[in-house]
């Protein structure tokens, strides 16, 4: 919900979407920073001065429960307590953040305007507006991450349910009707079903190993935002569900003969091949999409020739 900052009617900020369980320490650290800054700047102002009014507003916000909305308000209000030397330093520090957070036009604008600042009033307006734009970008980024988290949770749930339903349908096919109208078990189909379960489990294993190895390799280079996503359970469940689904699709590609010829392969060799390729399909996120794309292109290229034959 939009809320105006008291004393700054032209500046509005949004409540930042956060996962409190995982980010409460970051919020607390932010409060430590702004409280320390306020204590350093909170001099004995004249009771009727604008600075004293701003200081009272900050003190009131610091007494409220910790939230990103409140700390963002405090960050804005602190601008009106900075002296000329401190605000010049703060502008230089904030300009370091714009390259990776703001749009190209905004970056150009702020760099140009920063060179033309002269009075303390101009610097305060400039810094307040800059903080507002940075906070807006942070809010959008966090909101996108939250939406992405929810989308992964929903998609992984749907994918997992579809896999279960698919296996349930296959399991039902294991049973048929005999002459005596008594259900019987098709052993050959049961064997195929068991092998498919093996392949799906191999895909689960491959996806799990892929997650573990990728985290270990990129733990020092991955961005903070990506790290916040990859450590969550819904991301991991989404990834392993994709691995299982990819392995099952790989199983049918091989058994159908589309991907590889298995006519001269013994049963045990075929089973091992299916398990290995199921593992590879789960480990590599790009393998099955590339196979599907190539197969779709082959089908599309064969269609015109089929129509010409009919004519």
- Give pLDDT tens digits for 57-87: 999 999 999 888 899 999 999 999 998 999 9
DSSP class per residue in 2-71: -EEETTEEEEEE-PPP--HHHHHHHHHHHHHHHHHHHHHH-----TTSHHHHHHHHHHHHHHSPP-HHHH
- Give pLDDT tens digits for 87-110: 999 999 999 999 888 999 999 999
Give phi and psi for 194, each to the nearest 5.
Answer: -65, -40
Cβ count within 10 A of residue 43:
10
Cα end-to-end distance, the chain, whole Å:
64
If one compares 186 and 287, the residue with the highest pLDDT of the two is 287
Work out the average pLDDT over 106-117.
Answer: 93
Q: Is the pLDDT of residue 229 over 80?
A: no
Q: Which two tokens stand for residue 271?
A: 């089973």
- Give pLDDT tens digits for 299-309: 777 655 444 54
pLDDT, residue 186, reads: 63
Percent of the chain with pLDDT over 90: 19
pLDDT, residue 61, reads: 92
pLDDT, residue 13, reads: 39
pTM given for the model: 0.59
Give phi and psi for 10, each to the nearest 5.
Answer: -90, -5
Percent of the chain with pLDDT over 70: 75
Q: Which two tokens stand for residue 127?
A: 């810094």
Q: Is the pLDDT of residue 310 over 60?
A: no
Burial 268-277 (b: 16+ CB within 10 A, else e): eebbeebbeb
Cα(89)–Cα(92) distance, rounded to whole angstroms?
Answer: 5
Of the spans 107-116, 227-236, 288-297, which averages the highest pLDDT?
107-116
Which SS3 state, helix, strand or coil, does residue 115 take?
coil
DSSP structure class, residue 97:
T
Q: Express the helix, strand and coil content of the chain in percent, nearest 5 each.
A: 75, 5, 20
Give phi and psi for 162, each to the nearest 5.
Answer: -65, -35
pLDDT, residue 90, reads: 92
pLDDT, residue 217, reads: 61
pLDDT band at 285 (very low <50, low <70, confident <90, very high): confident
| CA distances from residue 163 to 45, 130, 137, 151, 196 in whole angstroms, order as listed | 68, 49, 38, 18, 12
Q: CB-based contacts of 198: which residues, under 8 Å, 6+ apart? A: 271, 274, 275, 278
Structural domain boundaries in the chain: 3-142, 174-310
Cα(16)–Cα(12) distance, rounded to whole angstroms?
Answer: 12
């Amino acid at each position: 919900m939009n809320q105006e900052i008291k004393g700054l009617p032209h500046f509005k900020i949004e409540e930042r979407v956060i996962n409190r369980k995982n980010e409460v320490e970051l919020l607390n650290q932010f409060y430590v920073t702004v409280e320390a800054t306020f204590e350093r700047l909170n001099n004995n102002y004249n009771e009727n001065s604008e600075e004293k009014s701003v200081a009272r507003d900050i003190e009131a916000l610091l007494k409220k429960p910790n939230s990103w909305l409140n700390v963002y308000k405090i960050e804005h209000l602190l601008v009106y307590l900075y002296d000329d030397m401190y605000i010049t330093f703060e502008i230089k520090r904030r300009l370091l953040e714009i390259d990776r957070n703001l749009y190209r036009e905004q970056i150009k604008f702020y760099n140009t305007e920063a060179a033309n600042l002269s009075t303390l009033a101009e610097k305060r307006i400039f810094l307040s507006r800059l903080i507002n734009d940075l906070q807006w970008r942070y809010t959008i980024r966090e909101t996108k991450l939250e939406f992405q988290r929810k989308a992964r949770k929903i998609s992984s749930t749907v994918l997992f349910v579809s896999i279960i339903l698919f296996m349930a349908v296959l399991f039902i096919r294991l049973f048929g009707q005999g002459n005596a109208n008594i259900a019987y078990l098709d052993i050959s189909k049961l064997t195929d079903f068991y092998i498919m379960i093996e392949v799906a489990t191999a895909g689960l294993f491959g996806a799990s190993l892929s997650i573990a190895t990728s985290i270990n390799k990129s733990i020092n280079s991955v961005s903070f935002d990506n790290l916040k996503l990859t450590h969550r359970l819904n991301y991991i469940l989404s990834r392993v569900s994709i691995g299982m689904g990819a392995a099952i699709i790989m199983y049918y590609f091989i058994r159908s003969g589309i991907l590889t010829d298995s006519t001269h392969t013994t049963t045990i060799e075929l089973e091992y091949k299916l398990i290995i390729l199921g593992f590879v399909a789960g480990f590599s996120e790009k393998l099955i999409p590339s196979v599907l794309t190539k197969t779709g292109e082959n089908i599309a290229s064969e269609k015109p020739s089929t129509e010409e034959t009919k004519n």
